[in-house]
Each structure stands twice: as C-alpha cells, then as structure tokens.
Amino acid sequence: MSKFQLKWGILATGGIAETFARDLYPNPECRGVKDIEHVVVAAASSSSADRAQKFLKEVRAPESAKAYGSYAEMVKDPNVDIIYVATPHSHHYQNAMLCLEAGKNVLCEKAFTTNAAQCELLIKKAKEKNLFLMEAVWTRYFPLSIYVREVITSGKIGPVSRAYADLSQTMIPEKTFDDGHRMVNPDLAGGALLDLGIYALTWIFQTLYTTEKNPKPPKVLSFMRKYKLGTDEQTTMILDFPPTDSRGEAHGIATTGMRTHADPDGKGSAGPAIRVQGELGEVQVFHPAYRPTRTKLVLNDGTVEEKHWPQPGPGKGSGWKNGFGGGWQEEGEGQGMFWEADECAYALRDGRKEGRYENLEESLVIMRVMDEVRQQNGMKLPEKIETTDYPVEL
Ligand SMILES: NC(=O)C1=CN([C@@H]2O[C@H](COP(=O)(O)OP(=O)(O)OC[C@H]3O[C@@H](n4cnc5c(N)ncnc54)[C@H](OP(=O)(O)O)[C@@H]3O)[C@@H](O)[C@H]2O)C=CC1
Ligand SMILES: O=C1OC[C@@H](O)[C@H](O)[C@H]1O
C-alpha cells in the first residue's frame, strides 16, 4: 500500500517543539497506523540557523532537512506541507498568520491565540486561502478520549448532567518561575488559564459539547486568584450548558491552578481529575488531564471497568525516548502527540480543512469562554499581544 507522507516544518525549537518533533520519528505502524507517515523537512528558530540545525539533529530529522534562522524564511519553503507553531501563546496569532499568508497549512499549539478576535481572523484567513488549520489540543485525538466520548454518546452512563475537570499542578510560581517565564509573564500571555485551564475546559467541552448534535455555548461564572504579575495562578469556572436533543441542562466545573495538585501523590490516591456524571453512572479520567492513561467507568448497577491506555511506541530496546513534565517516559513509549499529527495527515490526504474532534467553531467558542473569564476577573494582557493587527513585531 502506498503511504501518504506529510512533510512538517517546525516553527520554534523550545520544549514542546522538541517533544512533538520527536513523536513524529517512530514508524506509525507501531500504533497500528499503516497508511500515513511523517517527516520533518524543516525547522526554524528565531535565535539562529545553528539552533535550528541542532534541533533537527536532536529530533532525528533526515540529513536533508533544512534549518532556518527565521520563521519568515521557512514559510517560503515549497517542500513544507504543514507548519507546527510552537511559540508561546502570545506569539501564535502573528506566527500562524505568517504561515497562512504564505499558503501553509497550520497546526498551532494551545492556547490557539490570546483572544477570540485573533482566533476568528485566523479561521477567516484559513478559509479564504483554503488551508487546513487546527488547534493542537493533542488530548482530543487520544484513543482514551475517543473512548470517553463513545461512553457518553452510547448512553452507557445515561443522560449526562454534570462534569468536573481539574488540571492543577503544584509549582509554587514564586519559587518555580522567574518573572520572565512564559507560565507567569503577561508579555507571553502567562497564567494558569490559557496554559493549563484550557485542558480542564477541553474535558468539559469534549464531554458536554462535542458529544452533542446541536450544542450551544455555555453561560460562565468564574473566579480568579492572581499572581503578583497580574496573570492568574488559580481559576475556577462554572459553565451552564443549555439543554440539547439528548440531555437537559448540564453543568461543567473546570478548575486550574499552580498551588494545588490534581494528583498529590502521583498515584491517583486523591481520585480522578475528571468525572462525567449521568443518570446511570459516571466515567472518570485520572490526572494529568493533558495526557491521561487511566479511566474508570462506574455504574449505578455495580459495574466498575478500569482501563489503562499506555501511549504506544517502538518499544524497549529501540533506544528511542520522548516525554516531558513527569520526566522521560519509559524507553520506547510514545508521548502521544502523534495522534494529532496523524489527524493532520488524514485531513490533508482527504482534503479536510479542520480536525474531526475539535473543529474550528469549537476552538472559537472555547476562546470566547476564556475571554469572558478574563473579562469577569479583570485579567488584561498587553495590547501588543492582544491586537488583531498584523504584522506586529513582538
Ligand atoms: N501540547 C502540550 O502538551 C504542550 C503545549 N505547550 C504549548 O507550546 C507553546 C510553547 O511552550 P514551550 O515549548 O513550553 O515554550 P518554550 O519556552 O520551551 O519554547 C518556546 C519557543 O518559542 C520561541 N520563541 C519565539 N519568541 C519567543 C519569546 N519572545 N519568548 C520565548 N520564546 C520565544 C523560541 O524558539 P526559537 O528561539 O527557536 O524561535 C522558544 O524556544 C505554548 O503555547 C504552550 O502552551 C507547551 C507545553 C506542552
Ligand atoms: O500543554 C501543557 O501541558 C503540560 C504542562 O506541563 C504545560 O505547562 C502545558 O503547556
């Protein structure tokens, strides 16, 4: 069978760029995917071409891959099919627009942009140019997430009326981050909400919104505890989703923060990070919300079904490693970013312009929710990163 090959350009060479590009290396057959393949053909660094060259070596890109010392140069490379934007959220709008303007398909890291107005303009540009555009919410494409959504749509837990989701990780900001770090710095759109809270919202949305035929955006009530720099260190959101054809009104409670932990002992002893509750029982997902590997279905009739979802890879003895956050994964185990990459390959092969499990309309609705939360709590970001003007030098 001939395989569809997707040729990637990686825009930026920081932490997640490396993790993502490493995940493109293993043969997709090790996860049962036989009809597509990925190749990194270019990387660009705003620091230097040398940095991009070093990056390409680290991620085992082919010798022929090109190293660029600026993003503007890479977007002109005719050999690149799609660009993965891996800069801080503050830069996504400018960088993604640069790619779209140059006629490139885009997979852009979360949070998509700093606000909904920017997101709307990226969508408009992608449509105008007939290009593929997707927010890189990798978790949506995991087999685990597909399973959870199927549990809901199959009716196993009955009509759903409530979901809780937490992504909190204790990283006491004043001890962990200097003021310039992207997790706290307003100039880089720092704060818990846009970086971590988006995963709590992802779980609320993919269980109360994506699963419905004609979903409507929720009403939102929220509270924020601010860090000394004005960005949020803890945010709590209550979302009220209107009734749909298959369920009544549903409530979502999404929490995020840097001073508490969803899984204090790292063993799940504190219980699940996500609970989706219906009339017949609930489905639970264990921390971390961005890369969960364990679920539990608990029904009113006494059924308890626990499942483990390790991320596939080339296996022990392969000498290949990937991973972030909780340390390197086991040798040969994947990070799981390849599922979203596979989705991009299938979309481009089949002529689709959006991802299947979070379309652009849903990304926009979530950006609007985050705008509303910031507005309710007076969390402003600098004008230069919230502007819809393009191009702007950041
Ligand atoms: N999906 C996921 O699981 C994860 C997603 N992310 C997302 O990825 C994005 C990047 O995060 P991460 O990789 O951790 O960040 P890093 O700080 O590690 O890397 C960001 C890179 O962006 C480039 N960059 C360009 N301008 C700036 C600037 N002014 N300040 C800092 N960096 C700049 C740099 O690359 P260069 O010098 O080569 O141009 C830098 O290395 C964020 O939006 C974050 O939300 C982050 C972690 C996990
Ligand atoms: O997307 C992410 O997932 C893992 C977190 O540790 C990281 O801060 C965030 O950007």
In ligand 2, the atom with minimum distance to the C-alpha of 196 is 9
Say if residue 74 is in the same domain as residue 148: no
| ipTM above 0.85 for this complex | yes
- What pLDDT band is residue 321 in, cutting at 50, 70 and 90? confident
pLDDT tens for 176-224 read 999 999 999 999 999 999 999 999 999 999 999 999 999 999 999 999 9
CATH classification of the domain holding 98: 3.40.50.720
**Across residues 334-361, what is the average pLDDT?**
97
Measured at the CA of 152, the angle between CA 107 and CA 295, to 5 degrees, comes to 75
77, HSE (Cβ side, Cα atoms, 13 Å): 26
Q: How far is the CA of 15 from the centre of ligand 1 (A)?
A: 6
Q: Is 54 in the pocket of ligand 1 (CB under 6 A)?
A: no
Please state the rounded mean pLDDT for residues 41-48.
98
Comparing 92-106, 199-213, 300-314, 324-338, the range with the smallest average pLDDT is 324-338
CB neighbour class for 181 (10 Å; exposed up to 12, middle 13-18, buried from 19) = middle
At residue 326, the pLDDT reads 47
Residues 251 and 301 in one domain: yes
Residues 216 and 304 in one domain: yes
Q: Is residue 131 part of a domain?
A: yes
Any idea what the CATH number is for the domain that residue 197 is in?
Answer: 3.30.360.10
Same domain, 234 and 294: yes
Our answer on whether the CB atom of 110 is closer than 6 Å to any ligand 1 atom is yes
348 pLDDT more than 60: yes
Quote the CA–CA distance of 58 and 320 in Å, as a whole number.
11
Same domain, 161 and 273: yes
In the predicted structure, residue 63 carries a pLDDT above the cut 50: yes
Own/partner pairs for 278-283, CB < 8 Å, 24+ apart?
278/152, 278/157, 278/158, 278/159, 278/160, 278/161, 279/157, 279/158, 279/159, 279/161, 280/156, 280/157, 280/158, 281/156, 281/157, 281/158, 282/157, 283/148, 283/151, 283/152, 283/156, 283/157
| Domain shared by 119 and 176, yes or no | no
Portion of the chain with pLDDT greater than 70, in percent: 99
Q: Is the pLDDT of residue 325 over 80?
A: no
> What integer best gives the mean pLDDT of the chain?
97
In a domain, 340, yes or no: no
- pLDDT for residue 324: 62
* 216 & 198 share domain: yes
pLDDT band at 328 (very low <50, low <70, confident <90, very high): low
pTM: 0.98
The pLDDT, as a whole number, for residue 327 is 53
Ligand 1 atom nearest to 44, measured from its CA:
38
- For residue 243, how many other CB atoms are within 10 A of its CB? 12
Using the predicted structure, report yes or no on whether residue 323 has a pLDDT greater than 80: no
Domain count, the chain: 2
The predicted pLDDT at position 330 comes to 80
* Closest ligand to Cα 167: 2
Ligand nearest to the CA of residue 15, numbered in listed order: 1
Is 375 inside any structural domain?
Answer: no
- Residue 352 inside a domain? The answer is no
Distance 375 CA to ligand 2 centre (A): 23
- Ligand 1 close to Cβ of residue 288 (< 6 A): no
- Using the structure block, give the residue that is written with the tokens 């992608």: 126
Residue 144 contacts residue 265 (beta carbons within 8 Å)? no
Percent of the chain topping pLDDT 90: 95
Domain check: are 147 and 287 in the same one? yes
Same domain, yes or no, for 132 and 155? no
72 falls within a domain: yes
pLDDT in tens, 224-257: 999 999 999 999 999 999 999 999 999 999 999 9
**Domain boundary residue among 308, 335, 356?**
308
Q: How far, in Å, from the CA of 87 to the mean position of ligand 1? A: 4
Whether the CB of 333 sits within 6 Å of ligand 2:
no
Residues 218 and 291 both lie in one domain: yes
Query: For 90-133, how does the pLDDT look when each residue is reduced to its tens digit (9 = 90+)?
Result: 999 999 999 999 999 999 999 999 999 999 999 999 999 999 99
- Of 256, 280, 308, which residue sits at a domain end? 308
Q: Are residues 54 and 70 in the same domain?
A: yes
> Which residue has its alpha carbon closest to ligand 1 atom 4?
16
Does residue 290 line the site of ligand 2, with CB under 6 A? Answer: yes
Residue 335 lies in a domain: no
Q: What is the domain range of residue 235?
A: 143-308
State whether the beta carbon of 135 lies less than 6 angstroms from ligand 2.
no
On whether residue 361 sits in a domain, the answer given is no
- Say whether both 156 and 271 belong to one domain: yes
Tell me how far apart the alpha carbons of residues 340 and 332 are, in angstroms, rounded to a whole number. 19
Q: Give a yes or no: residue 243 inside a domain.
A: yes
Does the CB atom of residue 326 touch ligand 2 within 6 A?
Answer: no
User: Ligand 1 centroid to 249 CA: how many Å?
Assistant: 38
Q: Among 260, 285, 308, where does a domain finish?
A: 308
